[in-house]
Chains A and B, each alone.
Chain A
């Protein structure tokens, strides 16, 4: 019975269980040890938890936050470039750009490649090119790489919608340079593009970062510090796969770049570029020997009083807009902007006004005249024979006009550009005592030749002012093994030809304009410059203001005798007004009195057929009004023939635009 009842109990103990069992001291000890171990374990965990969450919580919270925040540089709109009257030469148009953040691309190669391929298809950039772009930035993985600029809002929206499929890809605002006047003043303005590795290395300390745009040439490069503005900082939240989440929040707003106002005058600049085209066209149709090959030139127009440049033209030119957005190599190629194609397009990137040096020819004669008078080897009204040829030491030097045979004073010799007159002056320089050094060159150097003018515009050619020392240094056994013993000597012919601006002498149009400004302003050497001022735009209620900048160097007095200068000015006036003046036919009828000198300089050029021969470089430099000059114009037409044929008519166009007056008639040209 008992057994039955027991069996009906709820879950009776199994009869096989080995009872009774007592808690032995041995087991009690072991359970106690386990308990102590448990307490030790939990104590350890608590202490560690306390250390992490309470003691180091702040620091680890920051680490966690940094995990998901990506700093994004917000591009500042680049400042505009204005002409002196506030007309816009370069502005911005806002656009959208696609950037790739390399660190946030998928880690697995296959996924990464797939994403890059999809992105390339989307932005229509060849996959290989996109891959190369990314590879180039591999060493700087934290800076986003711009893979496409100026995408449509639709594409931007598409990418943002599919952020899931495009980890590491982001859309940012960007600003693109816009050139309302197309290629006008292209060489002055320059272009911008993404900062290169070398530039980054050099400028990293000044706050430039990879991916920034930076001025590469011209004003854009020279005044980049004012134009670039200060980029802002924004933050973007991403998840662990680098996919953006939510909106970009701005931490510091970007500051727009300052406006750079130039001394340039759009009206004069336009006239100068048109004048160049006109001059080249005239040369090509003049039928003069070699003028068919006329294909380039430069015009410099500046205020002789302070050196403010009013126009700076160089042909051939290019459209800076070719460098905007994604630069297509084929487009650059077609425009002659790559080393491969530059030659066939006659080097359009070259700013001939400051980077190219030419023999000046007769436009150099006033230098010789002033130097000779200062050295007292020529009296202003001393009569010297002007003949068809000049023979010295058995060597014959020709006059450009072989039929002339009369005595001339200096003003007349300048007006009619008598070469033989100046040959004699040159020989007088050769005869000066050697211990006084080459005096003509010393004066030429004082007038700014042989060194750069200091114009605020990138690299400049110093030209070449030949001296006996230069000959000695240049012609050595190594460089000229055949004739070095003769070539290294300064011979009478060197002095004679230098007097009329020929042989080794090379000048830039800018140097020449600067020298004519010196004649025009009474003997002061100005520093040509383009910067009028820098203006900070008004923002957030703050009024705009002029940013202080270093003023251009003050005109430097050269201490030329006023009478000597007056004689030269008289000669230059006669050149444009007397019956036989070399450009009287061009400027004689212009209502504003203009003074100036033609030049026809021989330069050995290979026109592309493999036979280098002498081509005439057409020069005209001068100023007006003659008695108190407001503007100096120096025009050069490459291979343009005689100065009066191409350069003088081009220069007239500039004066016409500047003074707003037209020349009534032009007569027959009698010029060198």
Chain B
């Protein structure tokens, strides 16, 4: 008995030690460069927000900063949680994830509009934007579908089903109307199909189809008097193609944004001299146009540093795609990284006049709880995939 007891105690102690070793090895195996890069972007973003919003709310210089810090903390918890959950958990439940995401987004459509669009669910303490979380969950769901059919990828039916599934949430966010998120969803489905291994022929046809739809929506349909998009959406999408057409109206934002970026020059104008931001010439300077404000206040030095951090995040993300343990993980990682890259490009490009104006926030920097929490959750997913990847 005693002996048994002793041996039991020893086994338990051994198990505890091994467990401790496991935790240590888990932590050691984590991609600390990726964590550092994301931490860098988030920290840098907080510092930027502090300067950008200092003069926004009279009497409360840190109104937005405080909120953003709370979002970061909540998001960090999400990151940790996502990191601890095995991706397999999502793979087996992709149908539930898909259905849940789609229904929550649909639910938004039933609520009252805020600022002209129905994007938010008001939870009282927090205004929740499902389409931001949808960007992540949607990738998970489609990856689950494609992983399930990994042996039948070359069938047209598989690709068409995937596109069909994807079009449901895309259509729902489009109705909100949240054109930016719809675009991000499109980019994500493209990346998911691409990484999953969909044949080039299918990808070619889909690309051609997407281009055809773009031409139809922006060119042909308005031309024959059946516009699908609202006029302002159309103007924003095409405004960057002819920037000087109407500096007071349609292209006011982009003109002011370019002025802000340019006026930062190499070193930036500092917080107190950044007139474009502090005097409110630059609209939405803490959300969609945060990059332009950053450029004005911190100059080329500040923006280049941020872009380098993003590049680092993307590089580590792509590395995870290559190292992923199974096809589901690889597809998820690919979709998330590409969605991130797409959002950075469209947002930054928009402020500089080389991309259409769509309401896409700058990941990790723009003030906004849903976006911050969803993006940190996505990073948690990447880490979860990475830490469970094949050993080299």
Residues on A facing B (Cβ under 8 Å): 5, 8-11, 13-14, 16-21, 23-24, 26-28, 30-31, 34-35, 37-38, 41-42, 44-46, 48-50, 52-54, 56-61, 63-65, 67-68, 237-241, 245
Determine if A54 and B300 form an interchain contact, defined as CB atoms under 8 angstroms apart: yes
Query: Chain A interface: which of B138-146, B161-169, B176-184, B263-271?
Result: B263-271
Determine if B266 and A54 form an interchain contact, defined as CB atoms under 8 angstroms apart: yes
Task: From A5, A17, A41, A64, give the contact of B341 (CB < 8 A).
Answer: A41
Determine if A239 and B279 form an interchain contact, defined as CB atoms under 8 angstroms apart: yes
Cβ contacts under 8 Å, B259 to chain A: 60, 63-64, 67
Cβ contacts under 8 Å, B258 to chain A: 52, 60
Q: Besides A20-B390, A34-B338, A64-B260, 4 other CB < 8 A contacts? A: A11-B84, A18-B326, A50-B300, A61-B263
Determine if A30 and B195 form an interchain contact, defined as CB atoms under 8 angstroms apart: yes
Task: From A26, A35, A45, give the contact of B318 (CB < 8 A).
Answer: A35
Query: Chain A interface: which of B15-23, B35-43, B209-217, B219-227?
Result: B15-23
Determine if A68 and B352 form an interchain contact, defined as CB atoms under 8 angstroms apart: no
Cβ contacts under 8 Å, A240 to chain B: 279-281
Could you tell me the distance in whole angstroms from the C-beta of B4 to the nearest C-beta in chain A?
15
Assembled-state Cα–Cα distance A240/B330 (Å): 48
Determine if B322 and A239 form an interchain contact, defined as CB atoms under 8 angstroms apart: no
B275 in contact (CB, < 8 A): yes
Determine if A57 and B263 form an interchain contact, defined as CB atoms under 8 angstroms apart: yes
Cβ contacts under 8 Å, A49 to chain B: 261, 295, 300, 303-304, 307, 352
Task: From B87, B262, B345, B388, give the contact of A56 (CB < 8 A).
Answer: B262
Contacts known (A53-B303, A67-B259, A240-B279); A48 close to B352, Cβ less than 8 A: yes
19 A-B residue pairs with CB within 8 Å: A13-B325, A14-B88, A17-B87, A21-B326, A31-B334, A34-B194, A34-B318, A38-B341, A44-B349, A49-B307, A52-B295, A57-B263, A58-B265, A61-B262, A61-B265, A64-B259, A64-B260, A64-B275, A65-B263
Cβ contacts under 8 Å, A239 to chain B: 279-281
Determine if A17 and B330 form an interchain contact, defined as CB atoms under 8 angstroms apart: no
Determine if A31 and B318 form an interchain contact, defined as CB atoms under 8 angstroms apart: yes
Determine if A21 and B265 form an interchain contact, defined as CB atoms under 8 angstroms apart: no
Which residue on B lies nearest to A239, using beta carbons?
B279
Which residue on A lies nearest to B292, using beta carbons?
A52
Determine if A65 and B88 form an interchain contact, defined as CB atoms under 8 angstroms apart: no
Task: From B261, B315, B354, give the contact of A60 (CB < 8 A).
Answer: B261
Determine if A17 and B325 form an interchain contact, defined as CB atoms under 8 angstroms apart: yes
Cβ contacts under 8 Å, A38 to chain B: 311, 314-315, 318, 341
B348-372 to A contact mask, C-beta < 8 Å, 1/0: 1100101000000000000000000
The 8 tightest CB contacts between A and B, nearest first, are A60-B262, A14-B88, A57-B265, A10-B22, A61-B263, A64-B263, A239-B279, A240-B280
Which residue on A lies nearest to B275, using beta carbons?
A68
Residues on B facing A (Cβ under 8 Å): 15, 18-19, 22-23, 26, 84, 86-89, 91-92, 191, 194-195, 197, 256, 258-266, 275-276, 279-281, 295-296, 299-300, 303-304, 307, 310-311, 314-315, 318, 321-327, 330, 334, 337-338, 341, 344-345, 348-349, 352, 354, 388, 390
Assembled-state Cα–Cα distance A241/B325 (Å): 56
Determine if B279 and A68 form an interchain contact, defined as CB atoms under 8 angstroms apart: yes
Cβ contacts under 8 Å, B194 to chain A: 30, 34
Contacts known (A21-B390, A64-B263); A48 close to B349, Cβ less than 8 A: yes
Determine if A42 and B388 form an interchain contact, defined as CB atoms under 8 angstroms apart: no
Contacts known (A17-B88, A23-B322, A45-B345); A60 close to B263, Cβ less than 8 A: yes
Assembled-state Cα–Cα distance A238/B275 (Å): 10
Cβ contacts under 8 Å, B327 to chain A: 18, 21
Cβ contacts under 8 Å, B314 to chain A: 38, 42
Assembled-state Cα–Cα distance A548/B275 (Å): 48
Assembled-state Cα–Cα distance A14/B89 (Å): 8
Task: From A16, A20, A54, give the contact of B265 (CB < 8 A).
Answer: A54
Could you tell me the distance in whole angstroms from the C-beta of A103 to the nearest C-beta in chain B?
10
Task: From A9, A13, A37, give the contact of B18 (CB < 8 A).
Answer: A9
Could you tell me the distance in whole angstroms from the C-beta of B7 to the nearest C-beta in chain A?
12
Assembled-state Cα–Cα distance A184/B309 (Å): 81
Cβ contacts under 8 Å, B300 to chain A: 49-50, 53-54
Could you tell me the distance in whole angstroms from the C-beta of B62 to the nearest C-beta in chain A?
21
Cβ contacts under 8 Å, B345 to chain A: 41, 44-45
Q: Is the interface of B mostly helix, strand, loop or mixed?
A: helix
Assembled-state Cα–Cα distance A20/B327 (Å): 10
Cβ contacts under 8 Å, B276 to chain A: 64, 67
Cβ contacts under 8 Å, A57 to chain B: 262-266
Cβ contacts under 8 Å, B84 to chain A: 11
Determine if A19 and B326 form an interchain contact, defined as CB atoms under 8 angstroms apart: yes
Cβ contacts under 8 Å, A17 to chain B: 86-88, 325-326
Determine if A45 and B352 form an interchain contact, defined as CB atoms under 8 angstroms apart: yes
Which residue on A lies nearest to B338, using beta carbons?
A34
Residue with the highest number of chain A CB atoms closer than 10 Å, among B15, B26, B296, B300 = B300
Assembled-state Cα–Cα distance A425/B326 (Å): 133
Task: From A11, A45, A53, A237, give the contact of B349 (CB < 8 A).
Answer: A45
Assembled-state Cα–Cα distance A239/B55 (Å): 12
Contacts known (A45-B307, A57-B265); A14 close to B315, Cβ less than 8 A: no
Which residue on B lies nearest to A20, using beta carbons?
B390
Could you tell me the distance in whole angstroms from the C-beta of B41 to the nearest C-beta in chain A?
14
Determine if B311 and A42 form an interchain contact, defined as CB atoms under 8 angstroms apart: yes
Could you tell me the distance in whole angstroms from the C-beta of A15 to the nearest C-beta in chain B?
9
Assembled-state Cα–Cα distance A658/B280 (Å): 69
Determine if B322 and A13 form an interchain contact, defined as CB atoms under 8 angstroms apart: no
Cβ contacts under 8 Å, B310 to chain A: 42
Assembled-state Cα–Cα distance A54/B195 (Å): 38
Could you tell me the distance in whole angstroms from the C-beta of A31 to the nearest C-beta in chain B?
5
Determine if A16 and B352 form an interchain contact, defined as CB atoms under 8 angstroms apart: no
Determine if A27 and B86 form an interchain contact, defined as CB atoms under 8 angstroms apart: no
Determine if B86 and A11 form an interchain contact, defined as CB atoms under 8 angstroms apart: yes
Which residue on B lies nearest to A56, using beta carbons?
B262
Determine if A53 and B264 form an interchain contact, defined as CB atoms under 8 angstroms apart: yes
Cβ contacts under 8 Å, A41 to chain B: 341, 344-345
Assembled-state Cα–Cα distance A606/B352 (Å): 79
Assembled-state Cα–Cα distance A52/B91 (Å): 45
Assembled-state Cα–Cα distance A67/B330 (Å): 49
Cβ contacts under 8 Å, B279 to chain A: 67-68, 237-240, 245
Assembled-state Cα–Cα distance A34/B89 (Å): 27
Cβ contacts under 8 Å, A61 to chain B: 262-263, 265
Which residue on A lies nearest to B195, using beta carbons?
A30
Could you tell me the distance in whole angstroms from the C-beta of B8 to the nearest C-beta in chain A?
13
Assembled-state Cα–Cα distance A38/B296 (Å): 25
Determine if A31 and B262 form an interchain contact, defined as CB atoms under 8 angstroms apart: no
Could you tell me the distance in whole angstroms from the C-beta of B267 to the nearest C-beta in chain A?
10
Assembled-state Cα–Cα distance A133/B282 (Å): 32
Determine if B263 and A34 form an interchain contact, defined as CB atoms under 8 angstroms apart: no
Task: From A10, A14, A23, A34, give the contact of B19 (CB < 8 A).
Answer: A10
Task: From A5, A27, A42, A58, give the contact of B330 (CB < 8 A).
Answer: A27
Could you tell me the distance in whole angstroms from the C-beta of B56 to the nearest C-beta in chain A?
12
Which residue on A lies nearest to B264, using beta carbons?
A53
Could you tell me the distance in whole angstroms from the C-beta of B9 to the nearest C-beta in chain A?
15
Determine if B295 and A53 form an interchain contact, defined as CB atoms under 8 angstroms apart: yes
Which residue on B lies nearest to A34, using beta carbons?
B318
Cβ contacts under 8 Å, B87 to chain A: 17
Cβ contacts under 8 Å, B195 to chain A: 27, 30-31, 34
Cβ contacts under 8 Å, B19 to chain A: 8-10
Cβ contacts under 8 Å, B256 to chain A: 67
Which residue on A lies nearest to B21, using beta carbons?
A10
Cβ contacts under 8 Å, B281 to chain A: 64, 67-68, 239-240
Assembled-state Cα–Cα distance A28/B326 (Å): 14
Cβ contacts under 8 Å, A58 to chain B: 265
Determine if B280 and A53 form an interchain contact, defined as CB atoms under 8 angstroms apart: no
Assembled-state Cα–Cα distance A5/B300 (Å): 55
Contacts known (A13-B388, A16-B92); A21 close to B325, Cβ less than 8 A: yes
Determine if B315 and A35 form an interchain contact, defined as CB atoms under 8 angstroms apart: yes
Assembled-state Cα–Cα distance A11/B86 (Å): 8
Determine if B22 and A9 form an interchain contact, defined as CB atoms under 8 angstroms apart: yes
